[in-house]
Chain A
Amino acid sequence: MSQHAKICLEGLQKGFGSKIVLDGIDLEVMAGESLVVIGGSGSGKSVMIKCILGLLKPEAGRILVDGEDIVNATPGKRKRMLRRFGMLFQGSALFDSLKVWENVAFGLIQGQHLGRLEAKKIALEKLARVGLPADVGELSPAELSGGMQKRVGLARAIAAEPEIIFFDEPTTGLDPIMADVINDLIVECVRDLGATTITITHDMSSVRKIADKAAMLYNGKIIWHGPRDEIDHSGNEYVDQFIHGRAEGPIRMDVLKP
């Protein structure tokens, strides 16, 4: 693993109206490293990834990819940057109007301007890589189960062999066995590609399987960041409460009691 920061967030801030979601995030992900970001619902994990992808514009701070600031990049530069990224969305975000193979090949056809035949060949290879037979490629996304949709989403995320891949809650809504299958596939695909990844999740089994390093986001700040194996001995009471899923602790949920 080479030791330079592939992604570097410096003082990243983002809010919606009066609500501050990211309050000065500082984070580094080394090349080839798999970082998993944990945190409660609404803690800003997805917002952080969307800022890196350029889907949201931060109010302050810098996002460096290979040392290049991408926050104020020109549209052309951003488009070139996006070709280096892959993304698995929480709900898979497959295009309903396209067949499964067309979904997987979409970035190859639109982004890399490959011909449909060549793109279809690669799409079917990627579908096979995530354990789906070629005939699934001819189905529409609505005909697939949740687990199959996740696998198609993963195939789409790795189709263009990106350098950096983001996984947004990859196991949410899946049964434990399918969640483990998805975790295994993520580990294998990322290892094959040698990609740098950021995964956001609540699922501790994903953390233990996918992560090289983990970070916890709370109240808009990274409150802990370290190697995966240290998460159980972090000495941080917020992290302890989260990984053990306890209602009692410093993290208070706003629940109205009768």
Chain B
Amino acid sequence: MNFLATIGRVFVAALADIGDVVRFAGRTLSHLVLPPFYFGLMWRQMLHIGYFSLPVVGLAAIFTGAALAQQIFVGSQRFNAEGTVAGIVVIAIVRELGPVLGGLMVAGRVSSAMAAELGTMRVTEQIDALTTLSTDPYKYLVVPRLVAAVLTLPILVIVANIIGVFGGFLIGTQKLGFNVANYLQITVDFLEASDITSSLVKAAMFGFIIAIMGSYHGYNSSGGAQGVGRATTNAVVSAFILILLSNLIITVNVFGT
């Protein structure tokens, strides 16, 4: 009986947490359409999320693209299909690895920073101070981060896709002996508009998840430095899991054909 009670308690607590996150996201979205709009803060967040994440996302993409080309070459050799390397690399990068790797790298970098910043503001009463100064903390703190993440992630993922494909191209042409023109031609032939759409839709969704998880855990943190640390960890872990889960759902249900 105790075991069942424990399962029940965990289940109810999980449902309550999900409800809180959904309510937080709903409240943030409701503030999205009503003024005032803090464009300066949005721009600053876009720089922080997008521009300053470029090195880490770019490096992850180029290494992964290069390694992917090498692995596909080894695998495809077993049934004499080496010519598919360029095509598989571009599809794997654009449809899957570019958005997922970009999302995970940005989640690690940005969700944690958001949770730490907002968490510190919460425990030092800065969020309360905003309210007493006639400023809605959702509009001032959460909405700019959400807008910036949703707009910036697709741009970041396009760059990651290009760099990832370039990584495969480098290995393919410099090490594996593919002809440059052929490799590029196959890459272009294999790539379809739906691949790019899939990539951008996933990226925008991942941006939403990163901003909501980082903001939610930071905004609701409590318990001093330890609470901020817990919020940061929870933000990153929950963002990672939700990115991978939503990627699966989008891939299977929306772009699975």
- Residue numbers of A with Cβ under 8 A of B are 50, 53-55, 79, 82-83, 85-87, 89-91, 93-96, 106-107, 110-111, 156
Contact = CB atoms under 8 A, between A and B. Distances in A.
Interface of B: 120-121, 124-126, 128-135, 140
B129 A87 contact: yes
A54 B131 contact: yes
| A-B residue pairs, 4 tightest by C-beta | A111-B134, A93-B129, A107-B133, A93-B125
A53 B131 contact: yes
A64 B256 CA distance: 60
18 contacts: A53-B128, A53-B132, A55-B128, A55-B132, A82-B131, A82-B134, A87-B129, A89-B125, A91-B124, A91-B125, A95-B129, A96-B126, A107-B133, A110-B133, A110-B135, A110-B140, A111-B133, A111-B134
Contacts of B126: 93-96
Contacts of A107: 133-134
A82 B124 contact: no
B48 to A, nearest CB: 11
Most chain A CB atoms below 10 A, which of B125, B129, B132: B132
Nearest to B36: A110
A156 B126 CA distance: 13
B132 A87 contact: yes
Nearest to B140: A110
A110 B125 contact: no
Nearest to B123: A91
A79 B128 contact: no
B23 to A, nearest CB: 15
Contact of B128 (A85, A89, A106, A156): A89
A82 B140 CA distance: 17
A180 B218 CA distance: 36
A86 B133 CA distance: 8
Contact of B134 (A79, A91, A94): A79
Nearest to A53: B132
Contacts of B130: 95
Contacts of B135: 106, 110-111
A53 B127 CA distance: 13
Nearest to B129: A93
Given A50-B128, A55-B131, A110-B140, 20 more contacts: A53-B131, A53-B132, A79-B134, A82-B132, A82-B133, A86-B132, A87-B129, A89-B125, A89-B128, A89-B129, A93-B128, A93-B129, A94-B126, A94-B129, A95-B126, A95-B129, A96-B120, A96-B126, A106-B133, A110-B134
A8 to B, nearest CB: 20
Contacts of A95: 121, 126, 129-130
Nearest to A111: B134
A61 B133 CA distance: 25
A210 to B, nearest CB: 20
A144 to B, nearest CB: 14
Nearest to B131: A55
Contacts of A53: 128, 131-132
Contacts of B133: 82, 106-107, 110-111, 156
Contacts of B140: 110
Contacts of A94: 126, 129
A251 to B, nearest CB: 26
Nearest to A87: B132
A91 to B, nearest CB: 6
Nearest to B135: A110
Nearest to A54: B131
Contacts of A110: 133-135, 140
